[in-house]
């Protein structure tokens, strides 16, 4: 059995959507343009990258939410070992 890894991850969005997330929780994105399909997208250990993305997408009201998440059903695009497995 593998132990789950817990990390801090950052979600870039608008201030309006951030308020909704804080009130109601995250909802999976299901847009045609979502790079990896339906899900919730985070930048692990990269708050400034999440801010950059939020600013590009929502220039009038960028916002970043920090979340502590367990990595148990996600795609690792950093570790080469896992990229070979894909």
Amino acid 82: pLDDT: 52
Q: Where are the domains of the chain?
A: 5-85
Residue 3 has pLDDT above 70, yes or no: yes
CA distances from 9 to 45, 46, 47, 51, 60 (A): 6, 7, 8, 12, 23
The residue ranking higher by pLDDT, 56 or 39, is: 56
**Closest alpha carbon to 17 in 71, 68, 60:** 60
Least confident of 17-21, 36-40, 55-59, 64-68: 36-40
Strands (E), 1-86: 5-14, 43-44, 62-71
What is d(CA 68, CA 57) in angstroms, rounded to the nearest whole number? Answer: 23
- For 23-51, what is the mean pLDDT? 88
Average pLDDT, the chain: 85
Tokens of 17: 């959507």
Determine the length of the chain.
Answer: 86
Percent of the chain past pLDDT 90, that is, above it, reads 50
């Amino acid at each position: 059995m593998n132990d789950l890894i817990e990390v801090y991850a950052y979600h870039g969005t608008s201030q309006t959507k951030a308020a909704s997330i804080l009130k109601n929780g995250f909802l999976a994105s299901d847009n045609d343009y979502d790079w990896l399909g339906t899900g919730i997208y985070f930048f692990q250990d990269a708050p400034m990258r999440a801010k950059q993305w939020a600013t590009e997408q929502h220039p009038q009201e960028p916002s970043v939410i920090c979340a502590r998440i367990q990595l148990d059903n996600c795609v690792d695009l950093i570790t080469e070992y896992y990229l070979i497995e894909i």
